[in-house]
Amino acid sequence: MTQTARIGGAREPKAPRPSGRAWLLLLPAYALLIGVFAYPLLESVWRSFSEPTLGLENYTWALTNPNNLGVIARTFGNALLATVICLALAYPYAYLMTIVSAKARTVLVVIALIPFWTSLMIRTFAWIVLLQDGGVVNSLLGAIGIGPLELLRTNTGVIIGLSHVLMPFMVLPLYAVMSGIDLRLVTAARSLGARPSVAFLKVFVPLSMPGVAAGSLLVFIQALGFYVTPALLGSPSDSMLAQSIYAQVSGLLEWGRGGALGVILLVITVILLGIIALIARLSSRKGIKVKVL
């Protein structure tokens, strides 16, 4: 008995399968992936179970030490907060890119791409200059009667740095999706009596959700593994998981403990990705009936 998937009464076309020779073209990519990613990952996993002795000692230390639990919670909290800040700032910016003229859009795109052309170290050191006790930011805050505040060597400085560095990874996916939305749909909603705000929230925002999901995922995952920005803008008491892994491996030569922290980060990240993928799959199937005959 053959099964044919039909969506809306139409037969879904089958994707062509690559031939045997076509798979040979993927061998260099697979070799590179195994050499620079799979092998080091498996080596770290093995060391997390085998050094200094075979067993779960490193994972027991990682999951029962209050300092480690605080670092893990801080890492995911900072990543989530940076994602929310990037989304709040990047969404109106990306929307502005879709409604301005072509020349203005080019300028906005260049501004969004400038961080990619600047070294991460240079951008981080620039924030050190801006956020230091006598820096520009504190001078401005003092002029309006708010500051000065302690921004450098705090978790606030880390969040500011993370949000700035990761902003382009939120802007570009949002713009890629928003640029494909037909703005006449919003105009049609307004012509039918909807207020501008209601038309935007009910029509434009739902259509832009794939860009929101893609940008948020990129920012969140990258923020989890950041090392340079938290190390330079924060303090040892505000360290994130990447700094703890580096301290265990490079400073204390505790490869087993460092590997255990890395595996915990990887496992939690994969679980979150699986949950997000499941939600996205269920959302994409909502309202679409698939009949199996």
Average pLDDT, the chain: 84
pLDDT at position 13 is 59
pLDDT in tens, 256-267: 999 999 999 889
Comparing 192 with 17, the larger pLDDT belongs to 192
Angle between helices 66-99 and 255-285 (to 10 degrees): 40
pLDDT in tens, 100-124: 888 999 999 888 888 888 888 888 8
Query: What separation, in Å, do the N-terminal and C-terminal C-alpha atoms of the chain show?
Result: 9
| Matching residue, tokens 């921004």 | 151
pLDDT in tens, 28-77: 888 888 888 888 888 888 988 988 888 889 999 988 989 989 999 999 99
Q: For residue 21, is pLDDT > 80?
A: no
Q: For residue 6, is pLDDT > 60?
A: no
pLDDT in tens, 157-200: 899 999 999 999 999 999 999 998 888 888 888 888 888 888 88
3-state helix, strand, coil in the chain (%, to 5): 75, 5, 25
Would you say the C-alpha torsion 162, 163, 167, 173 has a positive or negative sign? positive
Cα–Cα distance measured from residue 108 to residue 119, given in angstroms and rounded to the nearest whole number: 20
Q: For residue 293, is pLDDT > 50?
A: no
pLDDT above 70 covers a percentage of the chain that reads 89
Q: How much is the pTM?
A: 0.81
